[in-house]
Amino acid sequence: MDPQDLTERGRRTRARIIAATGEQILASGIGGTTLDTIRAATLTSKSQLFHYFPGGKTELVREVAAWEGTQLFAAQAPELDDLSSWQSWERWRESLVAYYIGLGRWACPIGSLAAHAALTDPDLERSIASTMKLWREKVAAGVERMQATGNVDPAVDAERLAAVILAAIQGGLVLSQPERSGWPLEAALDHAFAALHQASTN
Amino acid sequence: MDPQDLTERGRRTRARIIAATGEQILASGIGGTTLDTIRAATLTSKSQLFHYFPGGKTELVREVAAWEGTQLFAAQAPELDDLSSWQSWERWRESLVAYYIGLGRWACPIGSLAAHAALTDPDLERSIASTMKLWREKVAAGVERMQATGNVDPAVDAERLAAVILAAIQGGLVLSQPERSGWPLEAALDHAFAALHQASTN
DNA sequence: CACGGACTGGACCGCAGAGTCCACTAAGCT
DNA sequence: AGCTTAGTGGACTCTGCGGTCCAGTCCGTG
């Protein structure tokens, strides 16, 4: 159901359902999240779930994915859209780590959703892939901005370097999860950023 | 059931079940793998599944995880246990990429199993974490070997660098999956190896 | 060859969880 | 106030899947 067609009250209920589902998915995965537990957590009923998401669980999960995407970008704002100075990169890095700490677990909502959804729902997979791509493009744009301002060697491939940086984030999280500590993530990030500095022109 | 106590025929059936389950899990995740599809793929019956794995699906999945671990290390042999020269590192890198290509999809069996299992089965999570740790230790040992042979600056933290390299692998795969291409993995690997070369003493 | 244990086949059970239905209440509009 | 639509509650159905049971077959050993 399109949020536009809802009253204020409806929008709030709808948003509450999405947020609670997102938390449960992050904590227990898609399979571990049932309509009943969502219902319990949101103090709603089955009929409401289907009222707001006629497509059932599938649709709900897709909405969650989209919502996680906006959450992710919001957490990195405004730095992610800047990245034109070394200070901006440093602040971005801090906001990222803070975001993951805030989640309470070393896992990326988008990354883990991608792993779960990969083959169960191609539509969802596409949506996540495009979020990932947008993220990469924003980082690449930052690299280019550093090149434009003369901070980084114009010869480096911005797209490629952006992929390396995102891979460091995702991979760092994969290693941090079992470790229950952020050090692998920080090490991977440090190292990825070092690449930028090595291509530094100052 | 302990493989020791089985006849040759029993061991083969048991192994067939594990391999088929491993493939299905890689393709469809744990949730998408049912005892019925395993039964169909292996031309066995429910009773056999429980005969060889009295603990049911949980036990079967744990066995799969252990098996994937040995598969992973076997694919990297013998280079992973050497890594004492630049050529060895290069060959290791090639065997890794070949392994993931051979799987037919850009995903790490261990990494994706870890993502799925994280909160459903703590026992499984521990087992995967220890596989991951062993992998990291082997890479770290390789770095130390490079330091011992005087190829790499002894000042670098081998553990930390090993984590960076594994993060590059895992993260590269995360990005490669939606891309349906290995370039992010290769980029991340290239970059991680560059760190080793920058610490090169020759 | 007969006996016992490993191995196999498939019918069956029970339950969790997705999805349906209908009756009810809240709230805006004339 | 009365009508209409949005929103809510919860009982109910049905299917998929994990797990059980028991009867049968294969195969090595005395």
Task: Please spell the DSSP secondary structure of B43-110, one letter per residue.
Answer: T--HHHHHHH-TTHHHHHHHHHHHHHHHHHHHHHTTGGGT--SHHHHHHHHHHHHHHHHHHTSS--HH
Quick: pLDDT tens for A90-104.
Answer: 999 999 999 999 999
Over residues B60-77, mean pLDDT: 96
**Cα distance from A128 to chain B (closest Cα, Å)?**
9
Q: Of B105, B162, B110, whose CA–CA distance to B139 is shortest?
A: B162
Contacts of A168 in chain B (CB under 8 A): 164, 167-168, 171, 188
pLDDT at B173: 97
Over residues B78-91, mean pLDDT: 96
pLDDT at B119: 80
Residue B175 CA, distance from chain mean position: 17
Over residues A16-28, mean pLDDT: 95
Q: How confident is the model at residue B201 (pLDDT cuts 50, 70, 90)?
A: low
Q: How confident is the model at residue A128 (pLDDT cuts 50, 70, 90)?
A: very high
Closest Cα in chain B to A135: B175
Q: Is A33 left (phi over 0), alpha (psi -120 to 50) or beta?
A: beta
pLDDT at A7: 79
Amino acid B181 reads: S
Task: Indicate the pTM of the whole model.
Answer: 0.93
**CA to C1' distance (Å), from B48 to C9:** 9
Q: Which residues pair with B24 in a beta bridge?
A: none
Amino acid B116 reads: H
pLDDT at B196: 87
pLDDT at B116: 87
Is B81 near chain A, with CB under 8 Å? Answer: no
Amino acid B47 reads: S
As a whole number of angstroms, the distance between CA B30 and CA A88 comes to 41
And the tokens for B12?
């083969």
Q: Considering chain A, what percentage of its residues have pLDDT values greater than 70?
A: 97
pLDDT at A202: 54
Contacts of A185 in chain B (CB under 8 A): 167
Quick: pLDDT tens for B175-191.
Answer: 999 999 999 999 999 99
Residue A28 confidence (pLDDT) above 70: yes
Over residues B34-52, mean pLDDT: 96
